[in-house]
Amino acid sequence: MSMELLRHLDKGTAFIQVSTKLNPRGEIRGRVHVPNNCEFGSRAQTDEGEPDDGVSVRDPEELKKDPHTCFFEGQHQAHGSHWTPHYNNCFSCSCQKRTVICDPIICPVLTCTRTIQPEDKCCPLCDERKEPKDVKALEKIEEHPEGCYFEGDQKMHAPGTTWHPFVPPFGYIKCAVCTCKGATGEVHCEKVTCPHLPCAKPVRRSPSDCCKECPEEERRLLDHADMMQADGTPLCKFGKNYYQNTHNWHPHVPLFGEMKCITCWCDHGVTKCQRKTCPVLTCSHIVRREGKCCPECSDELSKEEEDLIKVQENKKTWRP
């Protein structure tokens, strides 16, 4: 058991979930509070002198006796332990038999047009005015402390956030993206899907890259040919797709799908996007239907529509 998990148990921020085949998302879920009496305890040694998979010894004098201990930033770290270094909190370090391996946090690629960089975060986020789902998940972590504990980096992740998984001793895996399912506390990881390339001989620029790319020379020829219509009007490039002049579309955001409440259009080679403008409502009871961009007055809905909204609200508020 990792020290990070022990500390979450001590603070009461850890969760336990019981799942069955009939309900894999969980029959019951609740917080667990266990006083941390293990952090300063002793650790058993195997016959070969290697520490077992239990709790790491925190006593500096005991750590000095372990031949596999790492010494980093003036402190001894136990073999198999992970920590955030003082020199940069955007790195993750681990001790592997007297060898310290530090990897920079690799940020997922954002497809939004505007991003922000929070002071207390290592990775940029989509601007709330453009992609509110990406930012709200982090802003609500204080209101809803439920999140996902990922064993790889031994950290809690906010509901709805995405990250590249950390797998020691290999570091961050850029070929996969994990997502925290806030309602259930589950971590869902999937392989990155590489785009189709129009060139004949794609290349991998770096050994750590997941997807291949078109060579620079071939890419320039393709861009020059594809960025012009037959009449000479420039096309718009959004993400991996090209759009003709005056063409409009709903942007697609990975992990969230099509953003139907946002419309983009091509204006002579310039992509412009706008969120649907909702009218000001003066009624006393306002409801928001699933799949609709704007709220509505309940007195304008039929009884069947009101019953459907109540069922949807009950599904959102109820949790096991």
At 169-199, the pLDDT tens digits run: 677 787 888 888 876 778 888 888 787 777 7
So what's the pLDDT on residue 90? 84
256 assigned to some structural domain: yes
- Kindly report, residue by residue over 6-37, the tens digit of the pLDDT: 777 777 677 677 766 666 666 676 777 777 66
Single-letter amino acid code for the residue at 4: E
Helices in 183-317 by DSSP H: which ranges? 216-226, 303-317
201 assigned to some structural domain: no
- Domain limit, last residue, from 47, 75, 104: 104
Within this chain, do residues 58 and 100 fall inside the same structural domain, yes or no? yes
- Domain limit, last residue, from 52, 72, 104: 104
Within this chain, do residues 89 and 31 fall inside the same structural domain, yes or no? yes
271 assigned to some structural domain: yes
Within this chain, do residues 55 and 84 fall inside the same structural domain, yes or no? yes
Alpha carbon distance 159, 278 (integer Å)? 27
- Kindly report, residue by residue over 256-308, the tens digit of the pLDDT: 677 888 899 998 888 899 888 888 888 877 887 777 888 888 766 565 665 65
Residue 204 pLDDT > 60, yes or no? yes
**Of 16-30, 95-109, 206-220, 269-283, which range is least confident?**
16-30
Evaluate whether 72 touches 100 at the Cβ level (below 8 Å): yes
Within this chain, do residues 71 and 96 fall inside the same structural domain, yes or no? yes
* DSSP state, residue 134: H
**Measured CA distances, 239 to 60, 110, 191, 232 (Å):** 51, 10, 19, 22
* Global pTM value: 0.31
Within this chain, do residues 8 and 81 fall inside the same structural domain, yes or no? yes
Within this chain, do residues 186 and 236 fall inside the same structural domain, yes or no? no
Spatial strand order of the sheet with 162-163 comes to: 162-163, 176-181, 186-191
Q: Is 189 helix (H, G, I), strand (E, B) or coil?
A: strand
So what's the pLDDT on residue 284? 79
Within this chain, do residues 81 and 138 fall inside the same structural domain, yes or no? no
Count of the separate structural domains present in the chain: 4
Does 51 sit behind a cis peptide bond, omega within 30 degrees of 0 on the bond before it?
Answer: no
So what's the pLDDT on residue 10? 73
146 assigned to some structural domain: yes
Structural domain span for residue 270: 227-275
Helices in the chain by DSSP H: which ranges? 3-11, 60-65, 132-139, 216-226, 303-317
183 assigned to some structural domain: yes
Alpha carbon distance 280, 296 (integer Å)? 10
317 assigned to some structural domain: no
**Measured CA distances, 291 to 40, 123, 127, 260, 294 (Å):** 52, 30, 22, 9, 9
290 assigned to some structural domain: yes
- Domain limit, last residue, from 104, 129, 147: 104
